[in-house]
Structure 1
Amino acid sequence: MPTPRRHFLRRSAALLAVAVFMALVGIAHAAYPEQPIKLVVGFPPGGGGDLYGRVIANALGKHIGQAVIVDNRAGAGGNIAAETVAHARPDGYTLILAMSGNMGSAPAIRGNLPYKVPEDFVPIAQLVETPFGLMVSSNSKIETLKDYVAEARAGKLTYASTGTGGAAQIVMEMVKQQASLDILHIPYKGSGPALNDLFGGQVASFFAPYTPLMGQITGGKLRLLAVSSPRRVPSLPDVPTLKESGIDVVMTQWYGLAAPAGTPKEVVDTIGRAVEKAMKDPELLRVYRADGAREATLTGDQFRDFIVKDVANYRRAVERGGLKAE
């Protein structure tokens, strides 16, 4: 066989091999997902954020072609969950319920996080924003926010949050600064353990996003003293805002979906399309819109930019208050 012809055939074979490989890669991406997807949530089962995670997991599973299973990794205000996902294989089978705590306040107050925000993640979509609430047990002698302030000024109170350096702690520290209050912070690994001690009298109050806890509030186990929204919640007309009560703090906590950095764009796009459909699910909207919370619409780069700005906002609050991670 002449040398030029042999060279031509070898080159053709090589090109064919490359074409087959690229086709197989395309098929692999097109086949996603081929197994259940894990959604890592930084709260224990029954905690506040756990509800939002389970609702999106259920709705997402209906549209992405595989079950989405919640994996609770509680602790450190959601930072354990974020570290887990930051170091996970970037194949689209491990996602995180990102939130203000592990993606906003933690990078602002901690200089030694085992992950970087937003560099270690691919933000996919913001899901919901919810106000914070100051709560006490229904057995508490504190009936109103005025009572709470008076009690704090008369003697040291305690308040629980879902973790040191979390969004709830920093926002409650803003409340303390605005009202000149001395209240001891007691961190917990999620709402569930915090509520157990609140009901048991081991801690005096709890500051957290209140909307996932409406069952306990309407059921008479929790007393909601004030909310951090800009105006009163229509379904809770008797509960004042912090601002109208003279404490100028207006903040909300957000939740969203993110994947590990390096996740293929085709996979991220597939998840994004499924999230868009899931966000129209009537049950999801019912839960997300309940009692002052609202669904969000930011996706992709817009969500990434929002996270960057959120970190900057928390960092300013940390610096103004001289706060440090405990």
Structure 2
Amino acid sequence: MLHRILDACARALVLAVLMAALPASAAGPYPSQVIKLVVGFPPGGGGDLYGRLIAESLSKSLKTSVVVENKPGAGGNIAAADVAKSRPDGYTLLLAMSGNIAVAPVVRTDLSYKSPDDFELIGAAVEAPHGLFVGKNSRFKTAAEFFDYAKSNEVTVGSTSPGGAAHMGLEMLKLKTGADILYVPYRGSGPAITDLMGGQTEAFFATAPPLVGQVRNGALRLLALTGEERNPSLPDVPTFKELGIPVVVTQWYGLAAPKGTPKDVVDLLAQHLSKALADPKNIKVIRQDGAVEKDLPTDAFTQYVKQDIDGYRNNIAPEVIQSLSR
């Protein structure tokens, strides 16, 4: 009797181990449980808005709960590291972004993950331009005036997160224009804007959407934006590209899963993400402050990320990258 009981327990244990090792597609219909979307920002901060928008849309479309888990720190790298080592079953996803997927591999040598190699890239979702902002009383009325002055005079420009996407965009501007820019690091936009308005700095380079409201109410002036073409929400603001400055890098967001997540699961998630990005209600939310929807599923997203990584690696002064590498 005892032998039979032990034999049955052993068989159950083996079956459990085998089931745990099966990919999601073989273990049963996907999704069959709650999906976790890990976001590298605190609630209400940075790309948390886009993460929650995506989670809500996927919940409705997939008919299963997609919950946001905020895991801020290290510019989103902590969240990326957590997802990279998660089980590749489609139930743990990452709000991927330019900072932790494209910039970090270039400027950090201590990452516990490899990008994009440790991820299945599901799709791009949102693209937000960086902008060069000045106070309403600034002497600079245009980007041309700013850069003409900065070619022979030092200007202090604030930006957030040393080694982050916006800071790297600023370093690209320095390299491409030869401007004498002194980078002033800030932990957040609030203190940076306070100093800008108080005259402690002469400009602020940052991701645009959180500051668009202050541009519209006249508190700030937006001189130029990154991106390939003018922003539909800010049609009067020129791009750096059209001014002859080849800086187009943006802050983008998308979805990623751990490497090894079954292809059918990745493809299903990509299809539902594309569906969410085509929803007029979501487009309105995304565009309200200067971001745009960017629907690049799977392979197209992977190619885009690789090009973005190369763009940072090849368009930032080597001494800057060396100073940030650790």
For the aligned pair, the TM-score class normalised by the smaller chain equals 0.7 to 0.9
1:75 to partner: Cα distance:
3.4
Q: Contact 1:157–1:183 at 8 Å: present in 2 too? A: yes
Counterpart position of 2:60: 62
Match of 2:108 in 1: 110
**In 2, Cα distance between the equivalents of 1:197 and 1:58?**
37
1:50 equivalenced with 2:37 (yes/no): no
Compute the displacement of 1:290 (Å): 4.7
Q: Which residues of 2 match residues 31-46 of structure 1 at below 5 A?
A: 32-35=31-34, 37-46=35-44
**CA distance in 2 between partners of 1:64 and 1:169 (Å):** 37
Tell me what 2:157 maps to.
Answer: 158
What is the alpha-carbon distance in structure 1 between the residues aligned to residue 56 and residue 252 of structure 2? 19
SS of the equivalent of 1:318 reads coil
In the other structure, the counterpart of 1:242 is 240
If you compute each CA radius of gyration, which structure gives the higher value, 1 or 2? Answer: 1
SS of the residue corresponding to residue 296 of structure 1 reads: strand
> Of 196, 205, 220, which residue of structure 2 is paired with 1:222?
220
The residue aligned with 1:5 is none
Aligned equivalents of 1:165 and 1:182: distance in 2? 19
Alignment equivalent of 2:168, drawn from 167, 170, 177: 170
Residue 138 of structure 1 deviates from its aligned partner by 4.2
Number of residue pairs aligned between Structure 1 and Structure 2: 306
8 Å CA contact 1:76, 1:189 repeated in 2: no
Counterpart of 2:4 in structure 1 is none
Which residue matches 2:314?
Answer: 316
Q: What CA distance in whole angstroms lies between the structure 2 residues aligned with 1:121 and 1:54? A: 21
What is the distance in 2 between the residues matched to 1:68 and 1:274? 12
Q: Which moved more, 1:139-148 or 1:129-138?
A: 139-148
Decide whether the 8 Å contact of 2:103 with 2:309 is kept in 1: yes
- What are the superposed Cα offsets for residues 87-121 of structure 1, whole Å, 9 maximum, x if unpaired? 23333232111122211122122233221011211
Q: TM-score, normalised by structure 2?
A: 0.78
Secondary structure, aligned partner of 2:261: coil
| Separation (CA, whole Å) in 2 of partners of 1:325 and 1:29 | 49
Q: SS of the counterpart of 2:110?
A: coil
Following superposition, the deviation at residue 82 of structure 1 comes to 1.5
1:71/1:135 CA distance change after superposition, 3 Å = farther
Answer whether contact 1:318 1:324 (CA < 8 A) is retained. Answer: no
Partner of residue 8, structure 2: none
Distance 1:73 1:158, change over 3 A: farther
Quote how far apart the aligned CAs of 1:303 are.
Answer: 1.9
Cα gap change, 1:202/1:135 in structure 2, threshold over 3 Å: closer, same or farther? same
Give matches, 1:172-211, under 5 Å: 172-188=170-186, 191=189, 204-211=202-209
CA-to-partner distance for each residue in 1:191-242, whole Å, 9 max, x for gaps? 5665566567665533233135423322334321211234444543442332
1:30 is aligned with what amino acid? P
Q: Give the distance between the partners of 1:31 and 1:244, measured in 2 at CA.
A: 46
CA RMSD of the aligned region, Å?
3.3
Inter-partner Cα distance in structure 2 for 1:188 and 1:105: 18
Alignment partner, residue 261 of structure 2: 263
Match of 1:101 in 2: 99
In structure 2, do the counterparts of structure 1 residues 230 and 159 end up closer, same or farther at CA, with 3 Å as the change threshold? same
Secondary structure at the counterpart of residue 323 of structure 1 = helix
Aligned equivalents of 1:53 and 1:180: distance in 2?
A: 37
Separation in 1, partners of 2:194, 2:85: 32
Q: Name the CA distance, whole Å, in 1 between partners of 2:184 and 2:102.
A: 20
CA change 1:68–1:309 in 2 (3 A) is: same
- Within the candidate set 272, 275, 278, 2:273 is matched to 275
Q: Percent identity?
A: 50
Per-residue deviation, 1:134: 1.0
Q: 2: CA distance between counterparts of 1:79 and 1:110?
A: 10
Sort the Cα spacing of 1:217 and 1:43 in 2 relative to 1 into closer, same or farther, 3 A: farther
Look up the equivalent residue of 1:177 and give its one-letter code.
L
Specify whether residues 63 and 116 from structure 1 end up closer, same or farther in structure 2 by C-alpha distance, changes over 3 A only: same
Describe the shift of the 1:261–1:244 C-alpha distance in structure 2 as closer, same or farther (beyond 3 A).
Answer: closer
- Contact kept, 8 Å, 2:226 with 2:248, in 1: the verdict is yes
CA separation in 1, counterparts of 2:226 and 2:83?
30
TM-score w.r.t. the length of structure 1 is: 0.78
Q: Where does structure 2 lack aligned partners over 5 or more consecutive residues?
A: 1-10
Residues of 2 paired with 1:279 and 1:44: CA distance?
23
SS of corresponding position for 1:82: helix
1:135, distance to aligned residue in structure 2 (A): 1.7
